[in-house]
Amino acid sequence: MNKKTQKAIFQHLIFWIVYLLYEEVIAYFAGMKVEFLSTIVAFMINAGIFYAIGAGYKFLKRRINNKLLLVVASFVVSVLIVVLAAYLKAFSLIIFQHGSFKIYGTPNRILTFVMRNIYFAAMGAAYGFAREVILKEREAAQHRLEKVQMLEQQQKLEKQALQAELNVIKSQINPHFVFNTLGFLYAETYKKLPEVGQSIITLSNIMRYALTKNEDGYSSLESELAYIKDFIKIHESRSKAFFMNINIENVLTPYRVVSLILITLIENMFKHGIFNQNTKEAVLNITVEDGKLHFYSLNYKNNNSVNKVQSNGIGLNYIRERLTDEYGRDGYELLVTETHNSYECKLIMPLRYHESN
């Protein structure tokens, strides 16, 4: 017998002892004669009725599936228990009071016992019903808790998977080797070819930012925008003709933004876009309003390229997963409109205010 069962038995014993003393005190002050031994026996029978009603219902419920039949059977069993208990009380009085069945077994006396027994039967039924409701509610609450914990664990695993994916991408390049090589190339070329040297140092800044680890998944908006400007500058320096309408707001407020979201959108523009035709000028607009970042891009697609890389949607899927993970499905707006000739993207997402700055 475990401690929980022992505690329950003890609580029930205390209840019946207190109830017995309560009724005996009432009977004493009412001037009624109190027979202690017969009273104990009567209360044992009452307790038996109390528990037998619930036990009988459980027994029938396990064996009868039809609800109507279960109700009828439960009623019949309850009546039998109440009547049988009435006769038991009568026989106990005959034994302890040394009386006869003619005195304690009369119809009126039996009816009195029956009415008293119905009272305890109703108590037992109410107790059983309340206990069943409480147990079901506990099971439902436990199920809800397990479901919430499972959902939280799933979200945690998804977040870890996204971070692991990002870490794998970063780990594919040895940062020290890259930066040392770029530093060497910059030193060798800057004096003779300043423009090339400047492009190398810009590329170095881009690589350093891309490989910088942000534990919380956020970067300063200032550094993110500087990264984008350097990225565009590299592509502009490689092209003899470069047509792109750029409006990137200079933000002085120390905001923080989800890392690598914006640059992924910029990379998609350059991966598939046309930038060397003045009639197909690309557009990039990044502003901040009321603590939210507004991103807009438009580029015409290079459909004639023989070596054109087909998009597999991984970049966009990654962006949606990251933003949903940070803000929930309704916490941001991302609209992508793609036609045969153009690609348009609109993004609105909240920014964090970095107070330490």
Residues 6+ apart with CB under 8 A from 214: 259
Of 155-164, 197-206, 277-286, 319-328, the poorest mean pLDDT is in 197-206
DSSP 104: H
Cβ atoms of 273 and 302 within 8 Å: the answer is yes
C-alpha–C-alpha distance, residues 271 and 308, integer Å: 9
Cβ atoms of 85 and 42 within 8 Å: the answer is no
Q: What angle do CA 105, 109, 113 make, to 5 degrees?
A: 105
Give pLDDT tens digits for 166-212: 666 665 555 555 655 666 665 667 666 776 666 666 666 666 666 55
pLDDT at position 309, please? 44
SS3 285: strand
Give pLDDT tens digits for 271-288: 888 888 889 999 999 999
Instruction: Output 39 or 145, whichever has higher pLDDT.
Output: 145
How sure is the predictor about 296, in pLDDT bands with cuts at 50, 70 and 90? Answer: very high
| Beta-sheet strand order (sheet of 218-220) | 218-220, 255-258, 352-353
Average pLDDT over residues 108-132: 84
**pLDDT at residue 228 above 50?**
yes
pLDDT at position 230, please? 83
Of 69, 81, 9, 21, give the one whose Cα is nearest residue 45: 81
C-alpha–C-alpha distance, residues 158 and 160, integer Å: 5
C-alpha–C-alpha distance, residues 70 and 75, integer Å: 9
C-alpha–C-alpha distance, residues 227 and 267, integer Å: 12
Cβ atoms of 213 and 237 within 8 Å: the answer is no
Instruction: Give the gyration radius of the chain's Cα atoms.
Output: 41
Q: Which residue has the tokens 């794998």?
A: 168
**pLDDT at residue 311 above 50?**
no
**What's the pTM?**
0.45
Of 78, 187, 144, 97, give the one whose Cα is nearest residue 70: 78
What structural domains and CATH numbers belong to the chain?
35-151 (no CATH), 235-353 (3.30.565.10)
**pLDDT at residue 234 above 60?**
yes
**pLDDT at residue 325 above 80?**
yes
Mean pLDDT, the chain, as a whole number?
80
SS3 283: strand
- How many residues in the chain? 357
Cβ atoms of 346 and 293 within 8 Å: the answer is no
Question: Percentage helix, strand, coil, to 5, in the chain?
Answer: 65, 15, 20
Tell me the torsion sign for CA atoms 251, 257, 259, 263.
negative
C-alpha–C-alpha distance, residues 179 and 149, integer Å: 44
Of 3-7, 99-103, 195-199, 296-300, the poorest mean pLDDT is in 195-199
Which range among 17-21, 107-111, 327-331 has the greatest average pLDDT? 327-331
